Structure 1
């Protein structure tokens, strides 16, 4: 499994609207993407315009090819893109270790 981590900065004062939009986008678009296994969104405490989106994918290609090169990506960006203050920084990670409770 691959973890996509997106560091998202939104425009000031848009937190409530962005949270509604990202929830809608995750439920209506990402949930339909082949190879997407789950997601979480975290809101910055010290930086209120900062969000960290985590999406678990079966493979790197499920995200970078299957999703990013599909019509779903345009749907996703149409929902969340208007809130971005800058393009998100996206990186991918492989699991090394985790607690037994997860």
Structure 2
């Protein structure tokens, strides 16, 4: 399993609307994508305009090819993109260790 971690900064004062949009976007678009395994969204306590989106994919290519190169990516960005203060920073991770 691959973890996609997106560090997102949004425009000030848009937290409630963004939180609704990101949940709707995942449920209606990303959750239908090949290899989608689940997600989490966390909101920063210290930086009110900062969010971390974690999406779990079966393979790296499920995100970078199957999703990013599809019409679904355009639909996703149409839902959440208007809230972005700048482009999100996105990286991919493999699990090394975890607790029970």
Q: Which residue of 1 aligns with 2:92?
A: 92
* Separation (CA, whole Å) in 2 of partners of 1:48 and 1:33: 29
Hey, what does 1:61 align to over in structure 2?
A: 61
Q: After TM superposition, what 4+ stretches of structure 1 lie above 3 angstroms from structure 2? A: none
TM-superposed CA distance for 1:36, in Å, is 0.7
Instruction: Give 3-state SS (helix, strand or coil) of 2:42's partner.
Output: strand
* Residue aligning to 2:26: 26
Deviations 1:69-96 (A, max 9, x none): 0010000000000000000000000000
CA RMSD of aligned residues (A): 0.3
TM-score normalized by the length of structure 2? 0.99
**Counterpart-to-counterpart distance in 2, 1:94 and 1:45:** 26
Which residue of structure 2 aligns with residue 10 of structure 1? 10
Structure 1 runs not aligned, ≥5 long:
none
Return the alpha-carbon distance in structure 1 between the equivalents of residues 82 and 21 of structure 2: 10
Superposition TM-score, scaled by structure 1 size? 0.97
